[in-house]
Amino acid sequence: MRRIFTYIHSWLVIVALVIFVNIAFTSSFAYSQSDTTYIHLLRPKQTKNNLKNNLHLVLPPLKPAVISTQKVNVYKPDDKLLNNVQVFPNPVTDEINLKYDLSRYSNVTIKIVDVLGNDIATLFSQRVEPGEQNFSYSLNSKLSRGFYFVRIVAGTESVIKRISVL
């Protein structure tokens, strides 16, 4: 007896759910027409004034024939921050010159590292504006003869160049 009651009860619940879903979908229409009578359901018919108020996008007013001369920098996540890194002269005797390009403002750190990865000297550590940058540093026998690396870190990017000191 219980099994039959549960079976019939579950079918009644499914049929009631289907009817409810159908009514919900038909109520999304603005109005329904039968013969010559219009029956308004849940929402009144939307007019142009109602549609204007429902827009969530606000656009600035447009002025025809106005040309803007303001530069806009568009940051793309795949753009490189540090470009065209050059270290010269190589081999170095008394002065090292660096040249690099930055695409936007960033903190720049320039270090000299030995072959084992130990920091020997920090040459530069400041916030730098975008554009081409030149940097020169006088060694004056601060480094012994051998191979070293110059590490330039800008933001999260790093470039390492090998130099030899005579």
Q: What pLDDT was estimated at residue 41?
A: 46
Mean pLDDT by 10 residues, the chain (166 residues): 78 88 67 47 52 56 65 65 89 90 91 92 92 89 88 92 90
Q: What pLDDT was estimated at residue 59?
A: 63
Q: Which residues contact 1 (CB under 8 A, 6 or more apart)?
A: none
**pTM of model > 0.75:** no
Q: What pLDDT was estimated at residue 140?
A: 80
The count of residues in the chain is: 166
Pick the closest to residue 82 from 131, 127, 18 (CA basis): 131
Q: What pLDDT was estimated at residue 23?
A: 80
Q: What pLDDT was estimated at residue 154?
A: 92
Domains of the chain: 2-54 (no CATH), 82-165 (2.60.40.1930)
With b meaning 16 or more CB within 10 Å and e meaning fewer, what string describes 57-92?
eeeeeeeeeeeeeeeeeeeeeeeebbeeeebeeeeb
Q: What pLDDT was estimated at residue 22?
A: 79
Q: What pLDDT was estimated at residue 31?
A: 47
